[in-house]
């Protein structure tokens, strides 16, 4: 949704992307109270965020991570392509080192959690808009010592599909690989996560934000 009142002088124009309507509304209401911030659009998923970014060309996009369809990381990557002048500030409940690394790799300029005080959130927006990087300090420290995501793209893919308990054969049919190849990827993911089985591998990888 685009806010028709986007001509707010030199104010920082914002796009808010979050799949929860209450969160979108709360963020928009809080940030619109700031004299130098104007909410120019809101999106309920990543695909809509990309479309609105190309249309509105906001200065800063506040991006959730976990959304249906196109997630926040992929949406960040696409927004940086369609609207290079838009800086992305990830605002999420999921404070996981893997998500932080993935978001930064996708081009995000900041990563903070949703329980950040309103005044700190507004200041984070201003800092990101000015070209600075803003990171949740505790999460940044944890990410530094937790290491990079060890999983390959294919291992991440099969682990995501294994999360609902489907068999190797069912996964293979979906990703156009042999069941043996899928089992090899699952085995590699289990080893890299230090798990004892695929269910534990899924849990560990999810907790760390690797999938």
Do the Cβ atoms of 30 and 70 come closer than 8 Å? no
CATH fold of 153-207: Arc Repressor Mutant, subunit A (1.10.10)
Q: What is the pLDDT of residue 203?
A: 86
Query: Which letter, b or e, does each residue of 145-155 get, where b requires 16 or more Cβ atoms within 10 Å of its Cβ?
Result: ebeebebeebb
Sketch the domain layout of the chain as residue ranges: 12-145, 153-207
pLDDT in tens, 68-98: 889 999 999 999 999 999 999 999 887 777 7
Do the Cβ atoms of 198 and 163 come closer than 8 Å? no
Other beta carbons within 10 angstroms of residue 51's beta carbon come to 15
> Residue 13's closest CA among 93, 85, 108?
85
Give 12-145's CATH code, choosing from 3.40.50.2300, 3.30.2130.10, 3.40.50.300, 1.10.3720.10: 3.40.50.2300
Sheet strands side by side (includes 12-17): 37-43, 12-17, 60-63, 87-92, 110-113, 134-135
Q: What is the pLDDT of residue 8?
A: 45
Extended strands (E) in 33-102:
37-43, 60-63, 87-92
Q: What is the pLDDT of residue 138?
A: 65
Q: What is the pLDDT of residue 207?
A: 77
> How would you write the pLDDT of the chain (211 residues) with one tens digit per residue?
655 444 445 899 999 999 999 999 999 999 999 999 999 999 999 999 999 999 999 999 999 998 888 999 999 999 999 999 999 999 988 777 778 888 888 999 999 988 888 889 999 999 999 999 998 766 665 555 455 678 888 998 999 899 988 999 999 999 999 998 999 999 888 888 888 888 888 888 887 778 8
pTM to 2 decimal places: 0.67
Phi, psi of 59 (to 5 degrees): -75, -40
Q: What is the pLDDT of residue 143?
A: 56
- Distance, in Å, from the CA atom of 79 to the CA atom of 40, rounded to the nearest integer, reads 15
Q: What is the pLDDT of residue 5?
A: 47
Pairing of strands 60-63, 37-43: unpaired
């Amino acid at each position: 949704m685009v806010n028709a009142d986007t001509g707010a002088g030199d104010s920082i124009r914002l796009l808010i992307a979050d799949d929860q309507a209450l969160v979108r509304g709360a963020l928009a209401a809080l940030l619109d109270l700031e004299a130098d911030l104007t909410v120019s659009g809101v999106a309920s998923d990543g695909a809509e965020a990309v479309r609105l970014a190309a249309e509105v060309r906001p200065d800063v996009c506040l991006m959730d991570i976990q959304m249906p369809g196109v997630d926040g990381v992929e949406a960040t990557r696409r927004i940086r392509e369609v609207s290079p002048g838009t800086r992305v500030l990830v605002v999420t409940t999921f404070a996981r080192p893997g998500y932080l690394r993935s978001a930064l790799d996708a081009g995000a300029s900041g990563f903070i959690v949703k329980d950040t005080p309103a005044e700190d959130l507004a200041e984070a927006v201003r800092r990101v808009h000015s070209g600075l990087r803003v990171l949740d300090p505790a999460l940044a420290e944890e990410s530094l010592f937790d290491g990079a995501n060890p999983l390959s793209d294919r291992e991440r893919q099969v682990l995501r599909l294994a999360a609902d308990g489907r068999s190797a054969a069912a996964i293979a049919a979906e990703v156009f690989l042999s069941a043996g190849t899928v089992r090899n990827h699952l085995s590699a993911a289990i080893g890299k996560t230090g798990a004892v089985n695929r269910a534990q591998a899924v849990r560990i990888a999810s907790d760390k934000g690797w999938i």
